[in-house]
Amino acid sequence: MNPGSKALAEFVAEATEILDALARDLLVLDERRGQEADPDLVNGIFRAAHSLKGLSGLFGQERISRLAHGTEDLLDRLRLGKLLLDGAVLDALIEALDAFQALLGEAARGTETEVLSGRVDAMAARLASLGAPTEVSEDDPLDRLELEAQVRSVFTEYEEHRLRENVRRGVALWRVRAAFDLSDFDKGLAELNARLKPMGEVISTLPSAQPGGSHGIAFDLIFGGQVDSAALEAGLEGTPAELSPLGVRPAVDVVTPALVRAAQPAVTVRQGAGKSSAAGAGSEKAPPASRPRADTGAGSELGPRESGRDTRGGGKATGAPGTAASSDAADTTAATSRKRREDSSDAPTRDAPDVSAEPRRADAESSSPTKRSGGRKRSSRTPAATPSEEQQPLLPHLSSDGAAQGAVDWPTSVSEGVAHLDVSDPGAPASPGAPEPHESIVPTEPSPAPLVAYLQGAAKASPKGLSVAPSPPAAGPGSAPAPSVGSPSAQTSDTSLRSLTQTVRVDIGRLDGLINMVGELLLIKANLQRLAESARQDGAVALSKLFGQELARETRGLERKLEALQEGLLEARMVPVGQVFDKLARLVRRITREAGKEIEFVISGGEVELDKLIVEELSDPLMHLIRNAIDHGVESPDARLAAGKSRRAVVSLRAEQKGNHVVIEVSDDGAGIDEVRVREVAITRGLITFAQAQEMTRRELLNLIFQPGFSTARSVSELSGRGVGLDVVKNNLGNLSGIIDVWSERGKGTSFHLTLPVTLAIIRALLVGVSGRTYAVPLNSVLEIISVQPRDIRTVERREVLDVRGQTLPFVRLARMFALPDRPVSRYFVVVVGLAQERLGIAVDELHGQQDIVTKPLGGRLQSIRGISGATDLGNRRTVLVLDVAALLEEGMATERRRA
Amino acid sequence: MRVKVLIVEDSKASREYIAAMVEAVEGVEVVVTSSGFEALKLLPRHRFELIITDINMPDINGLELINFVKKNPNYRDVPLFVITTEGREQDRDRGLALGAAEYLVKPFVPGSLEALLRRYLKLP
C-alpha cells in the first residue's frame, strides 16, 4: 500500500509542524547558550525528534527517520544527563534541523539526491560520536521515589525521565487524585490542570483502573510542585482533588552527612504538611526500605508528625517544595550546599524554626537556576564565531579605499579574485583543504568587488559560501569532516524558507464566526425568497412602497453580511509575520557563524499580521537582505573596534503596521553604502548619464542599487531563492504590490524598508477614466485626489511637477504613459499616490468611484507591461486593467530621467 | 455486521495512514481518535473488538490506556495492539507486560498488520 499523494501531503504538513516547533525550541536554547538548559525545552525537542522518527518511519521516509533516530538518541543522552549541552552539541542539532528541512523538501518533491543522503550519513555519524559524557551517577533517583511498581509500570520512558529529573532536582512530588463524571471528565481534568500548571509540572495523568461508580472515572495525576503544600491546597480548593505526597529518600552517595542532617528536617516538614503517611525521609545510611519511622533518628529529634505541626503552628509552612528539602537540591546547587554547610556546621541537631527557614532559602535558589547563570549569556556565543574570524583578512573589504582598489584589480588578477572571494565568504578558510580555486573562477564578470559584493551579496557568495556550510568552524578543523564540499550540498543547506505546505491554521473561533455569518446569509436568502415569491404571486400589485422598503432592507442586510464575511475570510488568511522571523533568526545564527562576525539579531513586531501568501513570498527577499547585511554590511569585530564601534554588530528586523500597509525594516549598524561609489558604478555601467547623476539626490543614488544592471546577478537563477541580486528582491516585492527603499549612512549602517499591503486577495480600488478607457487604482495607495488646471503644471529640470501646498510633486499623465490620445481638457483630476516616501501625481480625465476588486494576474506577453499589475472584472462584464502603483512611481521617475 | 476497531494515535498523518490500512480489511469498521481521553469516553459507547494505540500521546499515554482497559472488567477481553517507534523497547515491553496482545513497530509492513487483524478479529 503506497501512501498516495494525499497521504504524502499530510505527512509533509505534519512534519513541517514538528520541524517548526523544533526550530522554535532550538532557537530558545541557542539564545540561552551557556546557561543551564531548561529541561522542558530539551524534552520538547526530544519529543519532536521522537514524533518525527515515528512519523517518517511510518511513511517510509527512511532518511528522515534515520536522522531523527540519531537526533533522538543524542537528545535522550542529553535529557538523561549523560551528555552536556555544549556549543558543539547545539551546533549539531541546528545543523540536523537544516538537514531535516532539506530532506523534507526533497520528500515533498518526491526526489532523493545522493548529496543529501551522504549528508544524512555524515550527520548521523557525527551525532552518534558527539559528547563528552558527564559523570553518570550509578544511582537511579527513581529508586528513591516511593511509588508503587504498579504505577511505575504504566509510565512511558519519557514520563519516567521527567519523574527522575524531578526527583533528582529535589522537587516535591504529589499524587493528586480526582474523580469525575465520565461524560465530562476532560473538562474537569482541564480545569485541574490549569490550576496545577502554575504551581509546578503535571508529569503524568493516570486513569484509575477501578471503576469510579457506573458513570465515574478517577484519575491520579503525578505532580511535581514548585509551591508549598499550603499554597497547593489553596490552589486546588473547590476541585475534587485529593493530595498525597510521594516520599523520596535522600540520595546517599553524593552528600556529606552534615548536608543530610541539614536537609533532613525539611523532609519531615513536607511530610507534616501533606496528608499521607507515605512520605519518606531517610538518613544517608538508611537502607532503601526505610520508612518514615526510621529517619527520625537521623538528626532531628522531631518525628515527622510533630515537625509538621510545629512548622504550621509557627506559620512557616515552607514545606513541600522543600523538596528543596531533599538533599539533592544541595548537590545540584553549589551555592545552596555552601550555605547549608555553614548553617549546619554548628548544629548537628536543629530546632524547628531554623529548620523551616532553611528549606525556603534552599528552595528559592534551586528553583531559579537560569537566573543565576544569566550573566554569562552575552559572551557565551562569541567563541563559536571567533576561530574563523581570526583567519580572515576582513579589513580591506571594509574601507572604501580598499573597495575602489578591489574594483580595479578584480578583473586583472585571478589570485586577487580569490582573495576577494574569501573576504566575501569568510567561512571558507575554516574548512581546510577545500578546493576553492576552481570555484573562484566562476564569477568571471569583472566586478568592482567589495562595494558590489555588498550589493550583489549572496549572488556571489552563494556557490561558495554554501560550500562551507556543512563544516562548522565551531567544531574546529578536522573534527567534523564536511560530508561533501561543493555547491550541490550547498544548495540543500540553504534552501528556501518558504513553507512546503499551503495550509493556514485558522483559529476555531474565527471559523465559527464565519459559519455564523453564513447562517445569517441563509436567513436573508430565505427572506429574499419569500419576497420574490410574493412578487411572483401578486404580480404588479406587489410593487408597493412597503415591498420596496422591505427589499431594500434585506439588500442592505445582505451587503453588510457579505462585507463581514469577506472581512472574516481575509482575516482567516492572516498569519503573524513572526512565522518567517523565527525561521530567519535561525538562519542568522548560521550565517553569522560562517561569516565570522559577531552579531546581535534583534527582532520586533513579529505579531504583525499579513496575508499568508505575502508572508510566504517575503521569506526569500528577507533572507537575502539579512544575508547581505551579515556578509557584507557588517564589519568584522576587529574592524568595528578600530572604527570605534562595539565589537558586536546589531542587525535588526522589525515589522510595524501603518494603516493598510506593513513596513518591514532590515537594518544593520555596519559600514554603510558609499553612494559615491554607487554613482561611479552606475555611470560605468551606463545605467545613468553623468548629467543625470548630477541631478540625483542621495536617496535616488542609493536606490540605484536596485537597478537590474547594477549588480552582477547573472548567477542568480536556479538556486532556490538564493543568489539573487537586489533587483530580484525588488521585483519579488513588486509582485506583492510592495516597494523597497534603502537608506544608508557611511560608517553608520544601512537600512532597507519594505512597504507591503496587508492583504492581496481583495482590494478596494478607485476607478478612473483616461481617454475613454477605465483603469483601477488600488485605493490603499491613493493619498488624495486634487483638481488642477493645466496652468498649474510646471516643468522643473524637464520633469513635469505640481506644487501642492508648497511641496513639489512629480506628475505624470496616464494618457501619455500608455500612449493614448491626449484629450484637451480644462482641468485634470490628479490622483496622488504614494508608497513609503515616494509620491506621484497621476493625471486622469474622470473619476468613476470606488469598488472592491479581485486582481487577476495577466498572462503571457502582457505580463511584462510596466505599470499594470493585473486585470479585474467589474461585475458588469467589463474587464479593466489595474495600475501597478509601485511600478508607476518608479517608471514616472525613470521616464522623466530618460527624457532628460 | 462489521466489527469495530478503535485507533488511538495523536499524529494525524499516522492516524489516517493506519486507519486506511485497517479499513482495507473487509468487515472492519474503524473509529479513530487523537487522544487517550477521547478513547476513555468512546469505550463505554461502542463495542470494540480491538484497540490499536500509540504510546506517546499528549493527555494520557498508551500504557495507561492499556492498563485501564485491562483492569476494567468491561473491556479486559478486548485485544490491544501497541504501536511503538523503533528503538523504544522499554515502552514495548511495558505494553506487553500490561496485557497488550501485539506490538507494531513503525514502520510496519501493511501486510503484517492485516494478518494480525484477521487473526485477532477471527476474520476469514
| pLDDT tens per residue, range B39-82 | 888 888 888 999 999 887 777 888 889 988 988 888 888 999 98
Grid cell, residue A869, equals 499589475
A57, B107: Cβ pair inside 8 Å? Answer: yes
SS (H, E, C) A69-100: HHHHHHHHHHHCCCECCCHHHHHHHHHHHHHH
pLDDT above 50: residue A254: no
Nearest residue of A to residue B93, measured between CA atoms: A153
Q: CA–CA separation, A112 vs A559, rounded Å?
A: 52
Q: Is A691 exposed, middle or buried (0-12, 13-18, 19+ CB in 10 A)?
A: exposed
Q: CA–CA separation, A720 vs B93, rounded Å?
A: 46
Q: With CA atoms as reference, report the closest residue to A456 among A468, A448, A467.
A: A448
The CA dihedral of A272, A274, A278, A282, to the nearest 10 degrees, is: -50
Instruction: Name the pairing type of β-strands A216-225 and A200-207.
Output: antiparallel
pLDDT above 60: residue A475: no
pLDDT value for A513: 86
Q: Is A432 exposed, middle or buried (0-12, 13-18, 19+ CB in 10 A)?
A: exposed
Paired with A173 in beta bridges are: A224, A246
B13, A53: Cβ pair inside 8 Å? Answer: no
Chain B residues closer than 8 Å to A156 by CB:
55-56, 61-63, 91, 94
Q: Name which of A140, A151, A156 to mutate to probe chain B: the one with the most chain B Cβ atoms within 10 A of its Cβ.
A: A156
For A281-290, the CB contacts below 8 A with 24+ separation are A281/A247, A281/A249, A281/A250, A282/A249, A282/A250, A283/A250, A284/A250, A284/A252, A284/A255, A284/A257, A284/A260, A285/A252, A286/A249, A286/A252, A288/A143, A288/A144, A288/A249, A290/A249
| Residues belonging to chain A with any Cβ–Cβ distance to chain B shorter than 8 Å | 1, 3, 7, 10-11, 13-15, 47, 50-51, 53-55, 57-60, 65, 69, 72-73, 153-159, 182-183, 185-186, 189, 204-211, 217
Q: CA–CA separation, A247 vs A262, rounded Å?
A: 18
Among the partner residues A3, A153, A207, nearest to B17 by beta-carbon distance: A3
Paired with A601 in beta bridges are: A651
Give how many domains chain B has, as a whole number. Answer: 1
B16, A54: Cβ pair inside 8 Å? Answer: no
Cis? peptide before A637, omega within 30° of 0: no
A54, B11: Cβ pair inside 8 Å? Answer: yes
Q: CA–CA separation, A580 vs A817, rounded Å?
A: 38
Q: Which of residues 9-68 of B touch A (CB under 8 A)?
A: 11-14, 16-18, 20-21, 24, 36-38, 40-41, 44, 54-56, 59-68
A185, B59: Cβ pair inside 8 Å? Answer: no
State which residues form the domain around B93.
3-121
B87, A185: Cβ pair inside 8 Å? Answer: no
| pLDDT tens per residue, range A394-410 | 333 333 343 334 333 33
Chain A residues closer than 8 Å to B93 by CB:
none
Task: Confirm if A615 and A577 have CB atoms less than 8 A apart.
Answer: yes
Residues 6+ apart with CB under 8 A from A616: A498, A499, A580
Q: CA–CA separation, B7 vs A894, rounded Å?
A: 65
Amino acid identity of A874? Answer: L
Residues 6+ apart with CB under 8 A from A273: A228, A229, A230, A245, A308, A311, A312, A317, A319, A320
Q: CA–CA separation, A43 vs A39, rounded Å?
A: 6
Amino acid identity of A719? Answer: L
Q: Please tell me if residue B116 touches chain A, with a CB cutoff of 8 Å.
A: no
- Alpha helix stretches (DSSP H) within A752-831: 814-817
Task: Please compute the mean of the pLDDT values over residues A159-184 and round it to a whole number.
Answer: 82
Compute the mean pLDDT over every residue in chain A, rounded to the nearest whole number.
69
Task: Confirm if A744 and A400 have CB atoms less than 8 A apart.
Answer: no
Q: B6 falls in which pLDDT band (50, 70, 90)? A: very high
Q: CA–CA separation, A630 vs A668, rounded Å?
A: 8
pLDDT value for B5: 93
A59, B63: Cβ pair inside 8 Å? Answer: no
Helix pair angle (A675-684, A449-456), 10° resolution:
90
A154, B67: Cβ pair inside 8 Å? Answer: yes
Chain B residues closer than 8 Å to A66 by CB:
none
pLDDT value for B79: 92
CA distance, residue B32 to nearest chain A CA (Å): 16
CA distances to A770, A773, A844 from A825, rounded to whole Å, are: 11, 15, 10
Q: Please tell me if residue B115 touches chain A, with a CB cutoff of 8 Å.
A: no
Nearest residue of A to residue B107, measured between CA atoms: A58
Among the partner residues B17, B65, B73, nearest to A58 by beta-carbon distance: B17
pLDDT value for A138: 56
Task: Please compute the mean of the pLDDT values over residues A89-112 and round it to a whole number.
Answer: 86
- Alpha helix stretches (DSSP H) within chain B: 12-23, 36-42, 62-71, 89-98, 110-121
Task: Confirm if A426 and A398 have CB atoms less than 8 A apart.
Answer: no
Q: Which of residues 65-94 of B touch A (CB under 8 A)?
A: 65-68, 70-74, 85-88, 90-91, 94
pLDDT above 80: residue A522: yes
Chain A residues closer than 8 Å to B94 by CB:
153-156
Q: CA–CA separation, A339 vs A318, rounded Å?
A: 18
- HSE-CB of A525 using CA atoms within 13 angstroms: 7
Q: CA–CA separation, A13 vs A17, rounded Å?
A: 6
pLDDT value for B43: 87
Q: CA–CA separation, A155 vs A137, rounded Å?
A: 22
Among the partner residues A69, A185, A208, nearest to B87 by beta-carbon distance: A69
pLDDT above 50: residue A823: yes
Chain A residues closer than 8 Å to B107 by CB:
57-60, 65
Chain A residues closer than 8 Å to B71 by CB:
209-210
Higher pLDDT, A25 or A898: A25
pLDDT above 60: residue A725: yes
Chain B residues closer than 8 Å to A186 by CB:
37-38, 41, 59
Chain B residues closer than 8 Å to A64 by CB:
none
Task: Confirm if A255 and A331 have CB atoms less than 8 A apart.
Answer: yes
B11, A51: Cβ pair inside 8 Å? Answer: yes
CATH number of the structural domain spanning residue B54: 3.40.50.2300
Q: With CA atoms as reference, report the closest residue to A185 among B5, B40, B3.
A: B40
Q: ipTM strictly over 0.95? A: no
Among the partner residues B17, B38, B72, nearest to A59 by beta-carbon distance: B17
B64, A207: Cβ pair inside 8 Å? Answer: yes
| pTM, rounded to two decimals | 0.46
Strand (E) or helix (H) holding A580:
helix A578-595
Q: How many CB atoms lie within 10 A of CB A162?
A: 22
Nearest residue of A to residue B66, measured between CA atoms: A154
| pLDDT tens per residue, range A745-796 | 888 889 999 988 877 666 788 999 988 889 999 888 888 899 888 788 888 7
Strand (E) or helix (H) holding A230:
helix A229-235
Q: CA–CA separation, A624 vs A732, rounded Å?
A: 11
Strand (E) or helix (H) holding B50:
strand B48-54
Q: CA–CA separation, A289 vs A143, rounded Å?
A: 10
The residue behind cell 502603483 is A885
Highest mean pLDDT among A79-88, A857-866, B114-123: B114-123
Task: Please compute the mean of the pLDDT values over residues A207-219 and round it to a whole number.
Answer: 71
B71, A210: Cβ pair inside 8 Å? Answer: yes
Higher pLDDT, A382 or A648: A648
Task: Confirm if A456 and A447 have CB atoms less than 8 A apart.
Answer: yes
Q: Name which of B33, B88, B108 to mutate to probe chain A: the one with the most chain A Cβ atoms within 10 A of its Cβ.
A: B88
Chain A residues closer than 8 Å to B62 by CB:
156
Q: B7 falls in which pLDDT band (50, 70, 90)? A: very high
Q: Range with the lowest mean pLDDT among A548-552, A616-620, A688-692, A887-891?
A: A887-891
What's the full length of chain B, in residues?
124
Paired with A873 in beta bridges are: A879
Chain B residues closer than 8 Å to A65 by CB:
86, 107
Q: Range with the lowest mean pLDDT among A150-159, A176-185, A229-238, A340-349?
A: A340-349
Strand (E) or helix (H) holding A662:
strand A661-668
Three-state DSSP at A67 gives helix
pLDDT value for A464: 34
CA distance, residue A220 to nearest chain B CA (Å): 11
Annotate A395-453 with DSSP letters as a single string.
Answer: HHHHSHHHHHHHHHHTTT-HHHHHHHHHHH-TTGGGSTT---HHHHTS--S---HHHHH
Three-state DSSP at A108 gives helix
Task: Confirm if A852 and A763 have CB atoms less than 8 A apart.
Answer: yes
Grid cell, residue A52, equals 518525527
Nearest residue of A to residue B114, measured between CA atoms: A1
CA distance, residue B21 to nearest chain A CA (Å): 8
Q: Is A435 exposed, middle or buried (0-12, 13-18, 19+ CB in 10 A)?
A: exposed
Amino acid identity of A893? Answer: M
Grid cell, residue A239, equals 476541585
Three-state DSSP at A802 gives strand
pLDDT value for A321: 41
Q: CA–CA separation, A336 vs A322, rounded Å?
A: 13
Nearest residue of A to residue B61, measured between CA atoms: A156
Chain B residues closer than 8 Å to A207 by CB:
36, 40, 60, 64-65, 67-68
A60, B98: Cβ pair inside 8 Å? Answer: no
CA distance, residue A205 to nearest chain B CA (Å): 6
Q: CA–CA separation, A437 vs A455, rounded Å?
A: 23
Q: Range with the lowest mean pLDDT among A47-56, A256-265, A546-555, B111-120?
A: A256-265
Q: With CA atoms as reference, report the closest residue to A229 among A247, A218, A243.
A: A243
pLDDT above 70: residue A415: no
Triad A250, A251, A252: Cα angle to 5°: 110
pLDDT value for A767: 92
Q: What is the DSSP letter of A285?
A: T
Q: Range with the lowest mean pLDDT among A74-78, A90-94, A136-140?
A: A136-140
